[in-house]
Structure 1
């Protein structure tokens, strides 16, 4: 049986202020310069309806929602995003670079807020199905440094240092559990150094020249 080719669906995960958006931009530029078609998107969000759900999730008081409610809102937005952006882009031969995906729900609502991980994985399998990322970069940065870097003041940033430490540990555990898909990236280094590492991992995983 031939090996399964990983989807050209690359996700960037990590805590607040870890530099995900910068590295997505740099990777998108490198891929486009190599003649590739690229769709850049984010979660929660990516479609009109999912962006409306995003506003519910990132605005307001830290305790605005029950953790179960948050998880269901994230997966509702993800279902729309997959149906209307991610799957059509992949079917059209594009790369999809996404700022956060299902690992964030496992990390934030599971490890961070204490929801049952098996329940979250059941939701993930039902909503995501076979459209799992071909490669995930876990941007790893000390919590205090990331919070100091964060450019916005949103709900999740106000949840306290202990929450963010559980979150960082959750991302590391997710990466350790799926080493074929996930790569931990030291996000404390210069952005050019990080970008070069990411480009090398893209070459290794997908065989594309950057």
Structure 2
């Protein structure tokens, strides 16, 4: 009998949606490997520094998409795929959905082109489950006390396009994506995330 393959769970959401906190809680409850994009590898950390540098506001959208794809290729090859192959569940704070929402919908690039690029970079790997944490834009804006990077510094219209993009992605793949209300105390949100993961993947954390 072949060894059990790990499951890949991606947490997605806009800036200040609380997904990083929820990714940590979920990974701990599952005994899963916690990772993130961009920056889940040493090479990725260097890419992240470029992508999010606040003084690089003129970075071309296609260049941004290619940098994110390069980060994902290294992340999958070095961290994600080896863990899944040895049977370890992986929880990642951002994955392919971020490229589609941010570079596709947010930056206005062709979403299908971004999808093909991301799929190629990931070697065809898809998340078994994508948990989208949805927080009203006004609440997310209040949570962002300071714009520490390029994405956080974007205007309200950009963040609205990203949010609309996420909703469209979730609606298009209801078997793979699940939307969770990210508003409220972190403990309450964690319970919602735990329940949907159990419902979708069959094992309650």
In the superposition, the TM-score normalised over structure 2's length comes to 0.92
Distance between the aligned counterparts of 1:112 and 1:204, measured in 2? 31
Equivalent residues of 1:135, 1:181 under 8 A apart: yes
Q: Which of 31, 34, 37 is the matching residue for 1:40?
A: 34
- Deviation of 1:7 after TM superposition, in Å, equals 5.7
Residue in 2 aligned with 1:35?
A: none
Distance between the aligned counterparts of 2:144 and 2:94, measured in 1? 15
- Deviation of 1:127 after TM superposition, in Å, equals 1.8
Equivalent residues of 1:7, 1:133 under 8 A apart: no
Residue in 2 aligned with 1:72?
A: 66
Gaps of at least 5 residues in structure 2 are none
Distance between the aligned counterparts of 1:16 and 1:192, measured in 2? 19
Cα deviations across residues 86-119 of structure 1 (Å, max 9, x unaligned)? 0001011111111111111111111111001121
Equivalent residues of 1:62, 1:156 under 8 A apart: no
Cα deviations across residues 7-58 of structure 1 (Å, max 9, x unaligned)? 61010111111001111121122113xxxxx210110111100110000011
Residue in 2 aligned with 1:144?
A: 138
Equivalent residues of 2:6, 2:88 under 8 A apart: no
Residue in 1 aligned with 2:14?
A: 15
Equivalent residues of 1:62, 1:159 under 8 A apart: no
Residue in 1 aligned with 2:104?
A: 110
Pair 46,172 (structure 1): closer, same or farther in 2 beyond 3 Å? same
Distance between the aligned counterparts of 1:68 and 1:191, measured in 2? 35
Gaps of at least 5 residues in structure 1 are 33-37
- Deviation of 1:204 after TM superposition, in Å, equals 1.8
Equivalent residues of 1:11, 1:98 under 8 A apart: yes
**Pairwise CA RMSD of aligned residues?**
1.7
Query: After the TM superposition, which segments of 4 or more aligned residues of structure 1 sit over 6 Å from their partners?
Result: none
Q: Does 1:61 align with 2:60?
A: no
Pair 146,76 (structure 1): closer, same or farther in 2 beyond 3 Å? same
Distance between the aligned counterparts of 2:175 and 2:99, measured in 1? 20
Q: Which of 77, 84, 89 is the matching residue for 1:90?
A: 84
What count of residue pairs does the alignment treat as equivalent?
A: 201
Equivalent residues of 1:18, 1:146 under 8 A apart: yes
Distance between the aligned counterparts of 2:57 and 2:71, measured in 1? 20
Bigger shift: 199-208 or 64-73? 199-208
In the superposition, the TM-score normalised over structure 1's length comes to 0.90
- Deviation of 1:64 after TM superposition, in Å, equals 3.0
Residue in 1 aligned with 2:23?
A: 24
